[in-house]
Amino acid sequence: MKIARNTTAKTAVLEIFEKSKTALSHAEIHKLTEDLCDRVTIYRILDRLVNDDVVHKIVNLDGTVKYAKCHHNAQRVHIHNHAHFSCEKCLEVTCLENVKPSYIIPHNYKVNDINFTLSGLCPNCLNSNI
C-alpha cells in the first residue's frame, strides 16, 4: 500500500477547504494558494483528494468544475448524491447536505454518478435585494 505524503502545497489546499463554506474552482484555489505551486500541481492535488474521497467534484450549470470538502457522517459507503445550490448572482456553489434528491430511471439503465444542482439566489444575495 502506497502512502501519500503531505506536501506543503497539499497542506495549503486542505487548509483552504477547511476554511471554505462554498465549493471552489481550480482558479480560486490557485489564487488562494498565493502562487505556492503551479496550476498542474493543484490539479494533481485535487485529483488525489477526489480519489481519496476528501473532496468531491461539482459541475456547475455553466460547466465550471468546482470542488467541495466531503462531510462524512460515519457512513460505510460514502456517496455524493446530495444537491448543490448555484447562486446566479454571486456564483457561489454550496452543498445542500439535508436535501435528498430523488429520481426515477428506467430499469435498463445503470447510474454511476449524479449531479443535482439547483440555481437561484443564495440567502446573502436574496437579502441584499430586499
pLDDT tens for each residue of 32-57: 998 888 999 999 999 999 999 899 99
Reported confidence tier of residue 75, pLDDT bands at 50, 70, 90: low
- Whether 91 and 58 have beta carbons less than 8 Å apart is answered as no
Task: Show Cβ contacts of residue 14 under 8 Å, excluding neighbours closer than 6 positions.
Answer: 6, 49, 54
**Predicted structure pTM score:** 0.74
The CA distance from 60 to 68, in Å, is: 12
CATH number of the 8-128 domain = 1.10.10.10
Q: Rounded to whole angstroms, what are the CA distances from 111 to 29, 67, 103, 104, 107? A: 30, 21, 11, 11, 10
